Amino acid sequence: MVKKAAIFETSHTLGETLSFSSIGLKEIIEGESRLDASFYDLEFRKATSLLTKCKSRLRPFYGDTGFSREATYPGRFKRVFVDSGVPIYTASQILDFEPKPVKFVSHRTKTDLDELKLKEGQIVMTRSGTVGDMAIVTQTLKDKVFSDDVIRIKLTESNDVGYIYAFLKTSIGKQVLGHNRYGSVIKHIEPNHLKDVLIPDAPSDIKSDIDKKIRKVYTLRDQAVSLFEGSRKALFSSLGVKNFSELAVDPNRQDNNRYTFNKKASLLKDRLDASYHNPIYDLIEEQLKSTNSDITHLGDSSVSKKIVLPGRFKRVYVSEGNGVPFLSGGDITQFLPSHLKYLSRIYHNKRIDRELRIHRGSILITCSGTIGNVLLVPSHYEGWAASQHMIRVVPSEDIDTGYLFAYLSSEYGRNLVKQWSYGAVVPEIDHRQISQVKIPILKQSKQKDIGKLATEASRKWSDAYLLERNTIIELEEMIRRGEL
């Protein structure tokens, strides 16, 4: 019964049926003598067939006659991690809306740190693990240090950047790009493989139009990031508290060791895990108490209408266009989820309507694995579903939604959420615990000033998302109609 329903929802695709094709020995020899079936994928053949019908000549992405003559990545190096040093970002973070470093390397690390910095105007691409995710380097990524798992690509003509990016984001471009990846467990791609990625050299007016649209997308994204950051700065200014980076455990403590601390038994609150009693949380609460604001908690009716944690369930996924877009915890940090899944309506419709569906203006907080990532649900996510690894907070009418998001997404808010987490291997937090997170309440006028920055940022994010999506769809339809 399960199999029939799944096939019904994916009837226009191969679904669960077996796909196969025949290939000749000559094709194997010309294909680097590769015997992995994915290299001869049927979808890749369909994409190649569409490209050969294009009016425009096909040029390689990279190479002497290609759109780019410079595609490199830094050499591997031994990293010396420290608590406070040069922020270093992982390859997957090129997709993040607001990349936040989780590790720092010492200046003594034996490598050229400047070589690791991304340069404005580059197209950057993940080359290991999840292969082919990409972004354009603008203000948000500029000069950030990324690992060697990111390929840095400089195009010969800067006006081609938006067009090449949009093409590689189409389903056709993704098939062509993913064709050369290799590796049985961890997939990889090398700059040399980009020579086999053929792209239509479209007329200049088409390339220029697409380039302008994609550049506008990234301008809106950068503006949104700046507004989100501005809302948090305005919050700290209004509260009159120190920035999180300025908080430090008293250097005059007798043990002079930040990894050890004392706690009175009366203050343990039935928690014996040391992480809950980290002195940094006390410092945050001391800062909040020093303000003129009232302090309440997230579960207070003046702050939230309801806080919901969906139950666990076995998921049935379907193909794109057949189910409800389904956000995972990792997706909410990204501007455009790169590997979005779709949840079956047939099997999960009641659960989706009851507890999984998300709505504009609510706040999602990751509560399993990575704790405390926060999303103010934008308008383009309206009606989507989100996994049970995210707690839903529906703000009360008595508090400004943008203000509440600005606080929860700040270092103060995120750390006070993390304080309640438990679990030795995979940290968790539930709706009862998160409802106890301390929330400072400013005057309504101050809340609105702070909140409007966050809500304007959310609007720009939606505008950018829809413009990119529509531009990619438009380009793909031109290719399929043979107009390019």
- Tens of pLDDT, residues 25-70: 776 676 666 666 666 667 778 888 899 999 999 999 999 999 999 9
Average pLDDT over residues 195-204: 95
Residue 4, pLDDT score: 38
Residue 357 · residue 390 · CB < 8 Å: no
Cα-flanking dihedrals φ and ψ of residue 322, to 5°? -105, -20
Of 463, 471, 466, 465, nearest in space to 209 by CA = 471
Give the model's pLDDT for residue 20: 65
Q: Which residue has the higher pLDDT, 158 or 29?
A: 158
Lowest mean pLDDT among 105-114, 165-174, 288-297, 381-390: 105-114
For residue 107, the Cα-to-chain-centroid distance in whole angstroms is 28
CB distance 422 to 273 below 8 Å: yes
Number of domains comprising the chain: 2
Residue 415 covered by a domain: yes
- Model confidence at 232: pLDDT above 80: yes
Q: Do 285 and 388 belong to one domain?
A: yes
pLDDT at residue 33 in the model: 66
Q: What size, in residues, is the chain?
A: 484
pLDDT-derived band at 320, boundaries 50, 70, 90: confident
Distances (CA, A) of 308 to 304, 363, 441: 11, 11, 22
* Cα 230 to Cα 393: distance, rounded to the nearest angstrom: 23
Tell me the C-alpha to C-alpha distance, in Å, between residue 91 and each of 102, 148, 180.
12, 8, 19
34 lies in some domain: no
pLDDT digits (tens, 9 = 90+) for 236-253: 999 999 999 888 765 555
Residues 282 and 168 in one domain: no
Please report whether residue 22 resides in a domain.
no
- 387 and 428 in a single domain? The answer is yes
C-alpha span between 60 and 68 (Å, rounded): 8
Q: Are residues 204 and 265 in the same domain?
A: no
Asked if residue 176 and residue 298 are part of one domain, the reply reads no
Q: Percent of the chain beyond pLDDT 70?
A: 89
- Same domain? For 176 and 241 the reply is no
CB atoms within 10 A of CB 204: 13
Same domain membership, residue 237 and residue 154: no
Do 363 and 452 fall within a single domain? yes
Residue 455, domain member (yes or no): yes
Q: Yes or no: say if 307 and 351 are a contact pair by the CB < 8 Å rule.
A: no
Q: Specify whether 155 is located in the same domain as 244.
A: no
Phi, psi of 134 (to 5 degrees): -145, 165
With 0-12 / 13-18 / 19 or more C-beta atoms within 10 angstroms meaning exposed / middle / buried, residue 173 is: buried
Question: Cα separation of 456 and 349, whole Å?
Answer: 32
The answer to whether residue 28 is domain-embedded is no
Distance, CA of 433 to chain centre: 26
Residue whose structure tokens are 């009366």: 266
Mean pLDDT computed over 275-289:
92
Q: Is residue 7 part of a domain?
A: no
Q: Are residues 417 and 320 in the same domain?
A: yes
- In sequence order, which residues have a C-beta less than 8 Å from that of residue 185 and are 6 or more positions away? none
Give domain status of residue 3, yes or no. no
Angle CA 312–315–317, to nearest 5: 155
Triad 18, 20, 21: Cα angle to 5°: 165
CB atoms within 10 A of CB 360: 15
Question: Whole-model pTM above 0.85?
Answer: yes
Average of per-residue pLDDT across 287-300: 94
Query: What gap in Å lies between CA 420 and CA 276, rounded to an integer?
Result: 6
Q: Flag whether pLDDT at 295 surpasses 70.
A: yes
Residue 333: domain span: 227-461
Residue 308: CATH number of its domain: 3.90.220.20
- Alpha-carbon gap, residue 325 to 348, rounded angstroms: 12
Instruction: Note whether 292 and 212 are same-domain residues.
Output: no
Q: What pLDDT score was predicted for residue 31?
A: 61
Asked if pLDDT for residue 171 goes beyond 90, the answer is yes
Judge whether 281 and 306 are in contact, CB under 8 Å.
no
215 with 246, same domain: the answer is: no
Residue 305 neighbours by CB distance under 10 Å: 12
In this structure, how many other beta carbons lie within 10 angstroms of the beta carbon of residue 102?
A: 11
- Give domain status of residue 10, yes or no: no
